[in-house]
Amino acid sequence: MGIALAIIGLALLVLAHEAGHFFVALATRMRPRRFFVGFPPALAKVKYKGIEYGLGAIPLGGYVKIPGMFRPGKRDAELYLRPAAEEDESLVEPLHALEGSFERDDLEQARADLTLFEKKLGATELTPRNSRFARRGVEELDDALASDAYWRQPTWKRLIVIGAGPITNILIAIVIFASLYTLDLYRLGFQVTAKKGATTTHVERVLADSPAQRSGLKAGDVVVAVNGQKVSGSTLTKRIGGSGGRPIALTVRREGKVVRLQTVKPMNEAEPLPTAFVDSFRLTGRIIDQILVKGIGRLFIGKGGSNVSGPIGIVQSSSDAYRQGLSDYMFVIGLISLSLGVLNLLPLLPLDGGHLAFSLIEGARRRVVSREVYERVSAVGIALVALLFMLGLTNDIGRIG
């Protein structure tokens, strides 16, 4: 159950990220062409007002297609349409015309030439592979030449559409943290040791002037029961948090002896909503500092690699947190959402942050960067992301071992 909820939580966060792109693109009249729940291939799909909505076969997150991410050129026409022209000579002449329009940078004529090529393509009989590839190419070029293509838009539109995804994840984290601050969460005021992703009942620290201190709890104690009922690392915080404020008596093991401590009333940590959001923003800022400075920053100096987690580790952490209680699970989901948002803002293609950086560069230059430059920079970014993924996967496998 915990693993299933962890996977669902991660999938919903990715879906929310894509939904952020989708709805802001709609609002700015940069009409997306597709929006899928899950990743293609499609199990089911329907077209409504020019947008294809579908259910993907891979049930993780979502997928949105924004038209014309790159300025089209002769190379794109050759890549997509050359195989079909080599199979059927009737397509050679319209392809040459289209390539010529791209060379002259006459995009209006290119649209007319593409329409002629599409008409000729409809009258030919090609092998299924070449036919599929050519039709996909016509669709991609048509989107890239459209007036609502991404690369044609003013810088501010491009920034808010691309930034909407990670900002959505960050806002979700802030709302989750704020909601946790407003819940009736009861605590005694002590911390237990975290070990290998799971919480133990070994007391690491007792907060001053807390109910735990008044009960006689000391660092080094091992909590064995709450109100006479045995507890484990996964049930300790759940039992205290769900007390409803009723008095609690801890039983601990101390220096080889079992000791029942004084009964105390837990403190209620609920906060008013305005205060909760202020504290949530502060907490978010501290976590972002941990991610960027003490997390990613340490990787550049060869430290902190053992702290990187991949999908398996993320699911495992969420699952462990769920077993400790709903509030712990929601807190970890908030952390994951915040991490998705912050990491996607890194200035690396193909991450959102890379597109944001290039949009700013193009806005300053008042000229679109060629697709070839995007591809070269993306190759570096993909390599770095792949290294992080492999590092996280290796760590996950090591932790399982």
In this predicted structure, the answer to whether residue 11 has a pLDDT above a threshold of 90 is no
pLDDT for the residue 183: 80
376 pLDDT higher than 50: yes
Cβ neighbors of 200 (< 8 A, separation 6 or more) are: 192, 193, 194, 233
208 pLDDT more than 70: yes
Contacts of residue 55, Cβ cutoff 8 Å, sequence gap at least 6: 36, 37, 38, 42, 43, 44, 45
CB atoms within 10 A of CB 253: 16
- For residue 257, pLDDT over 70 is answered with yes
What is the percent of the chain where pLDDT is above 90? 50
Average pLDDT along the chain: 85
Beta carbons of 2 and 323 less than 8 angstroms apart? yes
Query: Residue 60: is its pLDDT beyond 90?
Result: no
How high is the pLDDT of residue 350?
A: 87
pLDDT the model gives residue 4: 76
pLDDT of residue 141: 96
Q: Residue 56's CB: how many other CB atoms inside 10 A?
A: 19
Q: What is the mean pLDDT of residues 1-25?
A: 86
pLDDT in tens, 262-308: 999 888 877 888 988 998 999 898 888 877 766 665 555 555 555 55
Identify the CA nearest to 114 among candidates 74, 144, 141.
141
Q: Is the pLDDT of residue 392 over 90?
A: no
- Low-confidence winner among 203-207, 300-304, 350-354 (lowest mean pLDDT): 300-304
Q: Which residues contact 119 (CB under 8 A, 6 or more apart)?
A: none
* CATH match for 186-268 among 2.30.42.10, 3.40.50.300, 3.20.20.140, 3.20.180.10: 2.30.42.10
Answer yes or no: are the C-beta atoms of 96 and 81 closer than 8 Å: no
Torsion of CA 355, 359, 361, 363, to 10 degrees: 180
User: pLDDT tens across 323-345, in order?
Assistant: 666 777 888 889 889 989 998 99
So where are the chain's domains? 74-145, 186-268, 273-400
pLDDT tens column, 213-231: 999 999 999 999 999 999 8
User: Could you read off the pLDDT of 152-186 as tens digits, one per residue?
Assistant: 999 999 999 999 999 999 999 999 999 988 886 76
The DSSP-derived string for 284-308 is HHHHHHHHIIIIIHHHTTT--GGG-
Q: What is the pTM of this model?
A: 0.79
pLDDT tier, 39 (very low <50, low <70, confident <90, very high otherwise): confident
For residue 31, the 8-state DSSP code is -
Mean predicted confidence (pLDDT) in 126-147: 94
Give me the amino acid identity at 201: T
Q: Which pLDDT score, from 0 to 100, does residue 181 have?
A: 84
Confidence of residue 207 (pLDDT cuts 50, 70, 90): confident
Ranked by mean pLDDT, the top range of 105-114, 189-198, 225-234, 299-308 is 105-114
| Predicted pLDDT of residue 187 | 79
pLDDT band at 197 (very low <50, low <70, confident <90, very high): very low
* Rounded distance between C-alpha atoms, residue 207 and residue 194, angstroms: 17
| Residue with the larger pLDDT of the pair 391 and 133 | 133
Q: Write down the pLDDT at residue 109.
A: 96
Answer positive or negative: Cα dihedral of 164, 167, 172, 175. negative
Q: Which two tokens stand for residue 82?
A: 């050359």
**Per-residue pLDDT, 52:** 93
The yes-or-no verdict on residue 1 having pLDDT over 80 is: no
**pLDDT at residue 114, as a whole number:** 96
Output the pLDDT for position 157.
96
**320 versus 383: which is more confidently predicted?**
383
Cα–Cα distance, 39 to 18 (Å, whole number): 11
